[in-house]
A = this chain, B = another copy of it.
Amino acid sequence: MTESRLATVAVPPPHADRLSRTSEAAKLRLRVWLRLLACTKEIETEIRARLRAEFETTLPRFDVLALLEPEKTGLTMGELSTRLKVTSGNVTGLIDTMEEEGLVMRKRHRTDGRSTLIVATAKGRRLFLTMAPAHHAWIDDILGGVSNADVFALFGLLEKLRVSARLRAVK
């Protein structure tokens, strides 16, 4: 979603009864959120493009392999679904494809026979260990136009933002 568009339409019209809330500060918070969203989508798009061009793979595959890397005993579908924040239906389709490609395999749970664990294959791990440093270098490149001091300041401000979001969560 383009920032300029949402910024135009998401501000309440003059007749809205919440008009008293639309202070300059509230407008700025909305603009910060839209800019945050735009930055994230832009960087994600760039990472998707580079994963495709350099490794002929996709961001969901990279994310799954990143989650599985430190998990020697694997993860259940439910755990993958929660950590990827996608529906279990979507994870099942993704894991099916990755299994066909030889990147992951299904394993019976050691103690719970009904449960299936997903683990990375040697091929999957090898792919991830090649992609991870490249991904690291891309981020360094993509954020390379921001000075070290600004990156440091941004890190602190994003932490404040996260704390604020967490404290206000109604879910």
Contact = CB atoms under 8 A, between A and B. Distances in A.
A109 interface: no
Contacts of A132: 9-12
A96 interface: no
Interface in A120-171: 128-129, 132-137, 139-146, 148, 150-155, 157-171
A157 B160 contact: no
- Taking the full assembly, how many copies of this chain does it contain? 2
Contact of A46 (B150, B163, B169): B169
B143 A29 contact: yes
A160 B146 contact: yes
B83 A1 contact: yes
A167 B143 contact: no
Nearest to A132: B10
